[in-house]
Amino acid sequence: AEGSWADLDFALDAAHRAFLAWRTSQPQTRSALLHRFAERVEGNLADLAELLHLETGKPMPLAIRELERTVLT
């Protein structure tokens, strides 16, 4: 994929704004968001493992284990 310098600036600005919101959020809010993320990873494990396999060349069992560890962390 190709992107422009403007795309990079946009992405960096968005990441910075997200960080500012994250660092000022309450621990309970952070916890709830991380649990929600884990639930979504778990619910889409097969598809995410396939993407990880295709993107990195990892064997499927390794990709699945990596995602399972992500959910538990």
pLDDT in tens, 1-27: 689 999 999 999 999 999 999 999 999
- 23-50 per-position pLDDT tens digit: 999 999 999 999 999 999 999 999 999 9
Look up the pTM and report it: 0.75
Quick check: 45 and 64 in contact, CB under 8 A? yes
Q: How far is residue 13's CA from residue 33's CA, in Å, rounded to a whole number?
A: 21
Q: List, for residues 51-71, the tens digit of each pLDDT value.
A: 999 999 999 999 999 999 999
**Joined tokens for residue 64:** 């699945």
Q: How many CB atoms lie within 10 A of CB 4?
A: 8
Categorize the per-residue pLDDT at 73 as very low, low, confident or very high, splitting at 50, 70 and 90: confident
